[in-house]
Structure formats: C-alpha cells, structure tokens
Amino acid sequence: MDLHERLRRVDMRFDMCELTSDEIARRIEGYRRVLCIVNTRGIASEIYGRLRESDDNFHLSRMMCPLHIRQCLAEIRRQLDDCGDRCVRVVATQLVEAGVDLDFPVVYRQMAGLDSLLQAAGRCNREGLLENGVTHVFHMQGYMPRGTIKESIYAMEELLRMHPDADWFDPDVIKEYYALLYKRTPTFDSQEICRLSETPGEVRYEEIARRFRLIDDEGMTLVVNYADAGSLISRLKRVGPSRALMRELGQFTVSVTRRQFEEMRRAGMLDEPLSGIYYVEDPMLYDCKSGLKAGNEYLEQTFVI
C-alpha cells in the first residue's frame, strides 16, 4: 500500500455551487469545531461578520498585528485542548496554512491551487484522532481571483474537470496539477532574476535586489493602537528610536498598500510621531476581534504568507 494511503486522515469534498458569505457562515455554525480558510482578508472579514456573535468565534488575518495574532492563536489552542469540548469556529486567511499547528475535525477551504488545498487539509484531523476528517472546498459567489492565485485556481479547476474522482493526495495527481499550472504560466520570473544570476562571478546582486518583489505592491507599515502600543509611541516621541523600542513596536504593526496608506493619510487617520513612522491613533479603527478596519480594495488582495 502506498505511504500516502496509509497516512490518509482526510477526505476532500468539492462543492461546485457558488456560495454566499451568509451560506458559508450558516454551514460553519453547523459545527462545534471548524476552520474556514479563504483567499482574501475581505472575504474573511465578511464571513466572520455574518456569524452570530460569540466568544467561540475567531478571526485570523494580517489585518491583525503580530501580537494580536499570537494571542488569538494561543486562545484557539487553549479552547481546542479544553476537555469540555468547547466550540471553536475560526475564519482565517492563508496565514494558518504554514507553520501554524491547529487541528480541526472539519475544514472549509475556498477554491485555490491544489498546494493550498492540501495545506488546508493538513489542518484537518492533523493528529489522526478521528477515522477521517473532512475538508470541504467551496466557491465564493462573485469572487474574481487576481494575481498569482488566479492561474493556480484555473489549473485546479481544469484538473477537477479532467479527474472529478481523483485521489487529491496521490503524488501523481499533484505532479499533474503542477504540469497544468506550469503550462498555463509562461514564466514565474518576469523580472528575469535567473538571467541576472546565471553567470558565476557576474551575479548582479544590486539589480536583483532592486527587481525582486514577492508582492508587487511594496506596501506601507502602520503601528496600530492595540494593547500598550500607545505607551510605546509616547516613549518614541520622548526619547527617540532605538533598536529595542522599534522591535517592540514591530509587534503592533499592520501592512497596507501604498494606495490605502494615502487614503488614510488624506482622511487624517494617521499620526507621524517620527519621520517615516505612522501611527493609527484612533482606537475605534482597530477591532479587538478582527484588527485594522479598512474597507476597501486592499482587503480583496491575496497575499503570500
């Protein structure tokens, strides 16, 4: 028997109907313990907002500062470990798909590339405590993929049409997915990084550094008013920057696109306590559950975590 078959812990099921945020929220509420992973911050915020208010509901996205994310993950783990079998319902972006050790009996995953779907399935029955967990893959109504995820989704949908009953954990199926993806993608090196580094002794490091961007929009980093960030900003104004202080402030930062940054600055939402350091002082602009409030196109971007 193949190793992947012996280690099987999850069934992956596809729902080809397009679902609304309300429908996904209702499905989530049908389970005591469930993780829902979506492609954008906006969708995560929308589905989370459709859930009936409860301390059992959690939101995870990079609209939350690092300290907030760590605290939220710690509470999720604590409730998952609770012997009283407390409800835990989490709506998250892809940040939970890499390096986050969570284990749910049921996972919902918005359609994405097979690599992302398998990552999501890795958060389902992770400890093998059940005979089989279930990962449901769904389509969001009105969602138009953009950026790098678009070709991944198209390749996955083509593979699904070709092999609707495939074993998605089979290495040969995974290989076929990547063949389809590479066929659809003319190049993964639009900035010609490989060409600039192919000659030994003549690697153009400065030009490579200038061209390389994991995400096209460089973005801007903001300090948000969460926990004791305000006291750190006061210290910054009083004594100036230091390595230790800037490291502490890094736990209270959220990145936004340059366009969103300019919109917030024009609206008077940003303070600049020190040149190049921007602070969202209004506590009403940071939600204790879902993070920085920014209802625009930035939320709809898909980010590599």
The rounded distance, in Å, linking the Cα atoms of 163 and 157 is 10
Q: Give pLDDT tens digits for 263-298.
A: 999 999 999 999 999 999 999 999 999 999 875 444
Give the amino acid at 155: A
The predicted-structure confidence for 8-63, as pLDDT tens digits, reads as follows 789 999 998 999 999 999 999 999 999 999 999 989 999 999 999 998 999 999 99
Q: Measuring CA to CA, which residue among 67, 69, 72 is closest to residue 229?
A: 67
Cα–Cα distance for residue pair 6/281, rounded to 1 Å: 53
What is the radius of gyration, based on Cα positions, of the chain?
A: 21
Say whether pLDDT at 155 is over 70: yes
Q: State the chain's mean pLDDT as an integer.
A: 86
Specify the pLDDT at position 304.
38
What architecture does CATH give domain 3-144? 3-Layer(aba) Sandwich (3.40)
d(CA 21, CA 62): 20
pLDDT in tens, 205-230: 666 566 565 455 557 999 999 999 99
pLDDT at residue 302, rounded to an integer: 45
Percent of the chain predicted with pLDDT > 90: 65
Tokens encoding 248: 């502490």
Q: Is the pLDDT of residue 111 over 90?
A: yes
Total-model pTM? 0.86
202 and 43 Cβ atoms separated by less than 8 Å: no
- The secondary element (H helix, E strand) that includes residue 291 is strand 291-292
Domain ranges for the chain = 3-144, 220-300
Cα 271 from Cα 259, distance rounded (Å):
17
DSSP state of 52: P
